[in-house]
Amino acid sequence: MAIFEWSDRFSVKVREIDEQHEELVGMINRLHEAMVANKGRELQQEIVNEMVAYTNFHFATEEKYMRSFGFAGYFEHKREHEQFAAEAAELKARVDRGGLVLTLEVMTLLKEWLQNHILGTDMQYSHLFNANGLV
């Protein structure tokens, strides 16, 4: 069973952003499956690298729209992105060094961060993005 089940409650009502979030959810699930199946460090490393790169791409997409539409919570939102990006980079470095085989604890932290961020932070721009024609 997937560690993160996508559902409509995570939708920010912007197709492009929802698709990016679903991609990230898929990566978390693949990483979890690789961990459960004990697939080894190389595959975990590959997925972590992909996830870190895609996360940065996704954050840049949201930040571009927030700046374009003059979103009032831009800096606070960006700070959350930066904190997570720093933690993800640290995770990647630990996997690259071979010092960390992913654990359920790490997977749960990733999942919970994304769930809480989408529901608590990303949702805040939903109306503004819609009002500016992004649907």
What residues make contact with ligand FEO under the rule CB under 6 A? 21, 58-59, 62, 77, 81, 117-118, 121-122
Q: What Å distances lie between residue 121 and 28, 43, 56, 130, CA to CA?
A: 19, 31, 17, 16
Task: Rank residues 3 and 85 by Cβ distance to ligand FEO and give the closer one.
Answer: 85
Shortest gap between Cβ of 43 and ligand FEO (angstroms)? Answer: 25
Q: To the nearest whole angstrom, how small is the minimum distance from the Cβ of residue 38 to ligand FEO?
A: 30
Choose between 4 and 59: whose C-beta lies nearer to ligand FEO: 59
Taking alpha carbons only, the member of 3, 100, 90, 89 closest to residue 44 is 100
Torsion on CA atoms 60, 63, 69, 72, rounded to nearest 10: 180
The distance of closest approach from Cβ of residue 131 to ligand FEO in the complex, given in angstroms and rounded to an integer, is 18
Collapsed DSSP state (helix, strand, coil) of residue 123: helix
Among residues 39 and 113, whose Cβ is nearest to ligand FEO? 113
